[in-house]
Amino acid sequence: MNRDPAHPAPNPLHDRHRAVLPDWLALYYADPLELSHGEGRYVWDTAGNKYLDFFGGILTTMTAHALPEVTKAVAEQAGRIVHSSTLYLNRPMVELAERIAALSGIPDARVFFTSSGTEANDTALLLATAHRGSNQILAMRNSYHGRSFSTVGITGNRAWSPTGLSPLQTLYVHGGVRTRGPYAHLTDAEFTAACVADLEDLIGQGRTPAALIAEPVQGVGGFTSPPDGLYAAFREVLDRHGVLWISDEVQTGWGRTGDHFWGWQAHDRNGPPDIVTFAKGIANGMSVGGVVARAEIMNSIDANSISTFGGSPVTMAAGLANLSYLLEHDLQGNARRVGGLLIERLRAIAAGVPAVREVRGRGLMIGIEIVRPGSDEADPAAATAVLEAARAGGLLIGKGGGHSTSALRIAPPLTLTVAEAEEGAAILERALRTL
Ligand code: PLP
């Protein structure tokens, strides 16, 4: 049991945090955690407590904490040059772009690097609207694509119109903030077959959207997958009408879902999407994002653009070392094997806990839905109680974000071992049994 009685005092940094940072910045735990360091799948807090990390810093620690290969690559590159800008030739950026272009499966692929997933999706929307000459975008209900004006415009819960295809009026963003997105029309499709027909209707009315953007497994939405075949059915309609498909792989890329390298591959056998966006884990925790698209799409905006920090040599060096490790050690295979065992184990535990409605997931991306026992009613307070109890037992997990406050999220570094999966499951079992 952690929460060492030798360190019972709340961390005074919390008060300083509250005094100077925005109130809307989410913090986990009533007594928030301050991490000091990490190694492998473990992290330590500044009070000396050790935790098994089942959230990988919001899926950013893709391989392992302090992976020596990445640390060495970062130190060596930082000792040479930290910043070179996209105005000059940048070897690590070209090399990482070559590898990602080849892995994307997109023909004649071009890669543009950003510093975050939000910027990657912003860029994808910019490309799609420029390429198709329309500023209508389709997004999925309960999706999350970022925090900028344009990505907030395709994120969140909206009142679902009877057809689901009304022009965008007002959006609800996290915490009840309302804003208007920059799109003339925006629809949010839900995970039902009916929205395939709705899509046809929309296009039939002459309002051909530029693109549909979707997460293969909704991340902030609580690690929820669309039903089998739904995205493939969308794709068929989109392709027929020349509407681009943007796959937001910020959480799902690089083999995390086990069976496939990219999340879209679980849904669609028709080949790669028109645009893929990525971020989070590729540089193992360094700020990164990017977009992959065919040259004709990528080049539909004006030349002579730069990105000050996109493709930073240090980040690119981290990405190259991290990606090499991931591929050489078949971490996708590890996610499939260890993730499969973990899902099985958690389902067995859940069978004895009435507050667990569902254990779902693919590979090492696992959601646990907490409800009021005997009902389907979400229970955010109980989910928070499990999060706290797991921490007290020495395990860090995640919670769904704005859309799915009663889902627990598990996304460990992809090097997770079977013994560590067992250790985490045992802690989680004790935490769930406190409900
Ligand atoms: N897209 C998805 C699917 C995400 O989960 C996130 C962040 O959680 C983003 C985009 C935004 O990425 P970032 O926080 O790096 O801007």
Q: What does the pLDDT read at residue 186?
A: 60
Q: How confident is the model at residue 182 (pLDDT cuts 50, 70, 90)?
A: low
Chain segment 4-16, per-residue pLDDT in tens:
544 467 899 999 9
Mean pLDDT of 343-352: 97
Q: Where in the chain is the domain with CATH 3.90.1150.10?
A: 12-62+330-433
Q: Is the pLDDT of residue 34 over 50?
A: yes
How does DSSP assign 72-92, residue by residue?
A: HHHHHHHHH-S---TTS--HH
At 370, is the secondary structure helix, strand, or coil?
strand
Residue 357 near ligand 1, beta carbon < 6 Å? no
Q: What does the pLDDT read at residue 175?
A: 37
Lowest mean pLDDT among 94-103, 160-169, 394-403: 160-169
Residue closest to 318 by CA, chosen among 43, 60, 38: 60
Is beta strand 42-45 parallel, antiparallel or unpaired with respect to 35-39? antiparallel
Residue 120 has which token pair? 């990657």
In angstroms, what is the span from residue 117 Cα to ligand 1's centroid?
5
Start-to-end CA distance of the chain, whole Å, equals: 18
Q: Is the pLDDT of residue 45 over 70?
A: yes
Residue 220 near ligand 1, beta carbon < 6 Å? yes
Residue 279 near ligand 1, beta carbon < 6 Å? yes
What pTM value is reported for the model?
0.93
Specify the ligand 1 atom closest to the Cα of 279.
15
In angstroms, what is the span from residue 145 Cα to ligand 1's centroid?
5
Mean pLDDT of 138-158: 75
How many CA atoms does the CB half-sphere of 187 hold within 13 Å?
24
Q: Is the pLDDT of residue 115 over 90?
A: yes
Q: Is the pLDDT of residue 178 over 70?
A: no
Distance CA 153, CA 360 (A): 28
Residue 168 near ligand 1, beta carbon < 6 Å? no
Specify the ligand 1 atom closest to the Cα of 218.
3
Q: What does the pLDDT read at residue 156?
A: 53
Q: Where in the chain is the domain with CATH 3.40.640.10?
A: 68-329
Please give the single-letter amino acid code of residue 205: Q
Distance CA 68, CA 284 (A): 12
Q: What does the pLDDT read at residue 402?
A: 56
Distance CA 53, CA 168 (A): 39
Q: Is the pLDDT of residue 172 over 60?
A: no
Distance CA 248, CA 167 (A): 23
Distance CA 432, CA 382 (A): 9
Q: How confident is the model at residue 181 (pLDDT cuts 50, 70, 90)?
A: low
Residue 144 near ligand 1, beta carbon < 6 Å? yes
CATH T-level assignment (fold) for domain 68-329: Aspartate Aminotransferase; domain 2 (3.40.640)
CATH T-level assignment (fold) for domain 12-62+330-433: Aspartate Aminotransferase, domain 1 (3.90.1150)
What is the pLDDT of the chain when averaged over all its residues?
88
Distance CA 401, CA 119 (A): 19
Q: Is the pLDDT of residue 204 over 90?
A: no
Phi, psi of 97 (to 5 degrees): -60, -40
Phi, psi of 330 (to 5 degrees): 45, 60
At 43, is the secondary structure helix, strand, or coil?
strand
Distance CA 255, CA 259 (A): 7
Measured from the Cβ of residue 13, the count of other Cβ atoms closer than 10 Å reads 11
Chain segment 59-82, per-residue pLDDT in tens:
999 999 999 999 999 999 999 999
> Could you tell me if the ipTM is greater than 0.95?
yes
In angstroms, what is the span from residue 157 Cα to ligand 1's centroid?
16
Mean pLDDT of 175-179: 41
Q: How confident is the model at residue 312 (pLDDT cuts 50, 70, 90)?
A: very high
Q: How confident is the model at residue 170 (pLDDT cuts 50, 70, 90)?
A: very low
Mean pLDDT of 47-58: 96
Mean pLDDT of 13-30: 91
Measured from the Cβ of residue 66, the count of other Cβ atoms closer than 10 Å reads 15
Please give the single-letter amino acid code of residue 303: A
Q: Classify 29 in phi/psi space as left (phi over 0), alpha (psi -120 to 50) or beta.
A: left
